[in-house]
Amino acid sequence: MAVDSHYLAQKILQGFHCHYDRFQRLTRGARSRFLKRAWDAVVSASAERISFYDRQVKETSAAIQRAVGDEFDQALWLATRQRYQSLLKFHPQAELAETFYNSVFCRAFERRYFNNDFIFVETVLHSHIPISVQSQYRSYFPVKGGLQKVLPQIFLDSGLNGEFENFENELEQLRDAFLQRSQETEIEPHDIRIDVLNAPFFRNKAAYLVGRIVTERYHYPFIVPILVNSHGKLYVDAFITNSNRMATIFGFARSYFMVETEAPSALVRFLKDLMPRKTLAELYASIGFHKQGKTEFYREFLHHLQRTDDQLVAAAGVKGMVMTVFTLASFPYVFKVIKDKLGATKAFTRQTVIDRYRMVKRHDRVGRMADTLEFADVAIPLKRISADLLDELTATVANSLQIEGDTLVIKQLFVERRLTPLNLYLEYANDDEIEAAMNDYGLALKEMMAANIFPGDMLLKNFGVTRHRRVVFYDYDEVRYLTDMSFRALPKSDGFMDAEVSAAPDDVFPEQLDQFAVPQQRFREVLLKHHPELKDPAYWRKVQQHIREGRLTDVFPYEQHLRFTRRF
């Protein structure tokens, strides 16, 4: 059967609609899972949603290939792209539909056709947003009835439809926090408008109302976390108004939110107003559209290369045995390629490394594990790669490279936010900074444990420090589930010679962890001052038991001192 551009464009758009409808159905269930405290279902739904996109792309691409056969018809696909573009003029998810088209096309055809004639390397939507930002929020005016009237209405409009533990008390605490913030910023309630996004944001064991306080001169962002107690009653946990704290809650080391929206571009632009330092890539990813996040990142990277002339170089820090890592000084990311030959002590394969990075992608990262973008066939101009780096790449990852004219193509590439390696940070830190960093390193281990993650290699070089001075893990080649490990005590010595230790591959001896992970005595003493239990095998086994019993430990994305005083 002969096919035309209209058929192909409609077929790809139909595939996108199938994906988006399925994505939204699962997202819509977040409210019910939260109210029912179905935390196991929350975890599984988050992991399941990430896999939807690739499944639908594979299915749609196969249908397209069956329709057009093996031969590439340039005229047909030029027309198909133009037809598809015309279908997106008033599409509420137009930017996502562009990305879906790219994914289907790139899966079906050769890399030499990956240019703006056939795919949307550049979006056609820069000057056209089908749905306005105003469609995403409701506005409230305290001048009409005061906060006493506005705050209850915000909760009624939120759609949470749950019973609060003590609604009057919740409102009083929130009103007090609001008035305190008003005094700090010297604004009066009657001089403001309150904008609140239509749908709550759900993640892990919390719901969040997100909005802004608008005055004549400024916008003040806010988040109101809402939790559910053991009796199924809701309560307000905090009122957060600091943009940096909000950015941390939406951070790259956290799992994706579930939030209903028919207009992602409008929602993202509202969030961008609240967190101006966040990129579009980060914001799309934060609300679950991680493929769109990849598209926005790649566009940012291409634009950055056009505006700058510095070269990619090897990343600072100790060379790893699994990945070759490089970076661009003017661009805040690192690029990682799996080595052709892994270090002699690494008893696993290349596919194991890939699987473990993808495992972290699907898992709850509890603010302690950096998100990773995985790309295939990334083209980088050779002139932007330093001679030393090109030599290193050729020596270590040659099987992942292909040179096409003046371009280097990397077959598989992982991208992460560039952080200051913790071991380098500590070299130049003062006593107070060392104290804070080592304490946070211990907290990072505990929070990953609570999420059933054992980092494997806990050397300081595998952790980084963010601009908010938060310690984050970023090296996943030895990551395992905590419940898969066996935490043992060291056998007792007879006093004359060390007892022989017989260890299976999954055995871990916590009494040795501080020595192997933190060999520097100065840093080790600080760590153990704050977290002595990390040396106790019984502590690790206790956490394992809690996980096996289905008890999910609360890990808050904001500081404890911000929480309202609770009475249970």
* Catalytic residue set: 371
Phi and psi at 519, nearest 5°, equal -70, -20
Q: Report residue 334 as tokens.
A: 């690192």
| CB-based contact 69:2 (threshold 8 Å) | no
Query: Which H/E stretch holds residue 289?
Result: none
Alpha carbon distance 264, 287 (integer Å): 9
Alpha carbon distance 391, 409 (integer Å): 15
Question: Considering only CA atoms, which of 189, 20, 186, 178 is closest in space to residue 91?
Answer: 20
In 160-280, DSSP assigns E strands to 193-197, 201-203, 206-214, 219-228, 234-236
Amino acid at 567: R
**Residues that constitute the known binding site:** 315-321, 336
Alpha carbon distance 140, 353 (integer Å): 50
| CB-based contact 288:49 (threshold 8 Å) | yes
Question: Considering only CA atoms, which of 465, 463, 454, 476 is closest in space to residue 323?
Answer: 476
Spell out the residues 6+ positions from residue 502 whose beta carbon is closer than 8 angstroms to its own.
none
Phi-psi region of 405 (alpha: psi -120 to 50; beta: other; left: phi over 0): left
Alpha carbon distance 243, 240 (integer Å): 9
Alpha carbon distance 360, 413 (integer Å): 16
Phi and psi at 348, nearest 5°, equal -155, 175
226, with CB counted inside 10 A (0-12, 13-18, 19+), is: buried
Q: Report residue 473 as tokens.
A: 């893990």
Q: Which residue has the tokens 């559209």?
A: 289
**Residues that constitute the known binding site for ATP:** 315-321, 336
What DSSP string runs through 394-460? HHH-GGGEEEETTEEEEEEEEEEE--EEHHHHHHH--HHHHHHHHHHHHHHHHHHHHTTEE-S---G
The 10 Å Cβ neighbour count of residue 333 is 17
Q: How far is CA 94 from the centre of its chain?
A: 23
Q: Which residue has the tokens 């938060």?
A: 470
Alpha carbon distance 248, 254 (integer Å): 9
Alpha carbon distance 82, 67 (integer Å): 19
Amino acid at 112: R
Q: Cα–Cα distances in Å, from 13 out to 114, 202, 295?
A: 19, 28, 18
Largest separation between any pair of C-alpha atoms in the chain: 85
DSSP state of 124: S
Q: Please tell me the total number of residues recorded for the chain in this structure.
A: 568
